[in-house]
Structures are given as structure tokens and as C-alpha cells.
Structure 1
Amino acid sequence: MGTVPANTPKPPYYAVIFTSLRTEGDDGYGEMAERMVALASQQPGFLGVESAREGVGITVSYWQSLEAIAAWKANLEHREAQKLGRERWYSAFRVRICKVEREYGL
């Protein structure tokens, strides 16, 4: 889905952390997840994405600004995916938006 670790710029920037529990079966989820990553990567302000799934799914997307995050949330195709997620794909989820103030690593 996304490269790990994402190649992010010098902080500050923002992270949207999406933590989820899936329902049984795919029911179109895999295709939609790939489409959302492709679509998000075309949005102004998108910086990267990282994702892992083993039991609990965690996807972290990185953005230049809160305005870029709000524009992505409002994207019509993304809104349809959100609706399907609530109806079909997730038994529970949380979205957390954080400001990244410091970053370091190898």
C-alpha cells in the first residue's frame, strides 16, 4: 500500500492515523483501499502513507497542512469510500490527526 517508512519532509507537518477493525471478507475492500492511496497521492499537500494490518489495521497518511487534510476528507470519491467503510468494511475505527513536530531515524 504505502512505502515504509514514508519519505516525509522536515517537520512540522501533519499525520492522520486511521486505526480500524475489519469485518469478515473482502467485499471490494482491497480494490478500494488501493484506489484511495492512488487518489490521495494526487491530492495537493499529500506527503506519503504507511500501512500495516495484522488484526488491527493502522494507516498513517502525512500532509502539509490541516487544510490539505480537510480537502482530502471532503473529496467526493473519498466520501463514498468512507460511507462504504461504515456500512461494510469496518466494525470499529478511529481517526486521529496529529502535528508532527520532530522526526528522526535511520
Structure 2
Amino acid sequence: MSMHPEATVAPVEAHEPPYYVAVFTTVRTSHQLGYSDTNAHLEDLVQDVPGFLGMDHAQTPGGLSITVAYFRDADALTEWRRNAEHRAAQKRGQDEWYQSYTLHVAKVERSHGFTRAQVPQSSTAR
């Protein structure tokens, strides 16, 4: 039995460097009213930023959440950082939703990826 769900899940593809990443790591409080709706709205909103390349999310069973957002250049990242709705959500996060967080911004100098080829399953395979 596979430990991985059959759903189509894949990391953001490797892009031609250089580009930028913002790594946002959080531990949330128990006060999450409005968080899910705001998070979904921001995920839609960031896609309108010219130079936005994609986003990966992960969460540990213990409650540590990690979001990695990829941007073509520093200007795209700056545009997102200055977005008024994003700024308002940051303030609300500090006031209500986050016990703690860190933000790391880095310039990617090397990038590559791998995807296993799909092998058709035989009707006799078990």
C-alpha cells in the first residue's frame, strides 16, 4: 500500500534562475476566525502579480505551516509585499492568527526538478 495519496500533487516546477522565494513559516493560535477565507483570497490575489511563479504549502502534524512563494524578480516580490490587502492580512495575522512566524527571502541561483515517468499498470499487476 502506498503512503502517498493518488491525488495530483506536485511541487512548483523549477524555473530558470535567478528568481526569488519568500519562505513563510508559522505556528497559529487557536483564534482562527476568518483565516481560511482570507488565506484563500490572498492565494487568488497573488496570482495577479506580474512575475508570480507559484506557491507550495506544507504542514506538520504538530502545527508548523510552511508556505513558499516564488517570484520572477525582486520587483514582483515587492509588489506583493506592498499590496494593501496583503498588508491588512499581515496585521490581522499578528493580532489574531499567529503565535509566531518567520519570513525568509532569498534569491535562487540554482534550480532543477524531477518527475517520475508514469508507467501504465498491467491488468495482472498486484
TM-score of the alignment, normalized to the shorter chain, above 0.5 = yes
12, 20, 23: which one aligns with 1:14:
20
Are the equivalent residues in 2 in contact too, given 1:8–1:62 (CA < 8 A)? no
SS in 2 for 1:81: helix
- In structure 2, what is the Cα distance between the partners aligned to 1:9 and 1:89? 32
> 1:63 is matched with which residue?
71
SS of residue matched to 1:67: helix
- Distance, in Å, in 2 between the alignment partners of 1:46 and 1:69 is 8
* C-alpha distance in structure 1 between counterparts of 2:13 and 2:48, whole Å: 16
1:30 aligns with 2:33: no
Alignment of 1:44-63 (within 5 A): 44-54=50-60, 55-63=63-71
Unaligned runs of 5+ in 2: 1-8, 115-126
Q: Which runs of 4+ in 1 moved over 6 A?
A: none
* Helix, strand or coil at the partner of 2:54: strand
2:120 corresponding residue in structure 1: none
Task: Kindly tell me the number of residue pairs found equivalent between the two proteins.
Answer: 104
- SS of 2:112's equivalent in the other structure is coil
Give the number of the structure whose residues are more often strand, by fraction: 1
More helix by share: 1
Scaled by the length of structure 1, the TM-score of the pair is: 0.91
Cα distance in 2, alignment partners of residues 32 and 8 from structure 1 = 28
Q: 1:85 aligns with which of 93, 103, 119?
A: 93
Cα distance in structure 1, aligned partners of 2:84 and 2:108 = 27
Tell whether the 8 Å contact from 2:15 to 2:112 is kept in structure 1 after alignment.
no
Q: TM-score, normalised by structure 2?
A: 0.78
Structure 1 residues not aligned, in runs of 5+? none
Percent of residue pairs bearing the same amino acid type:
38
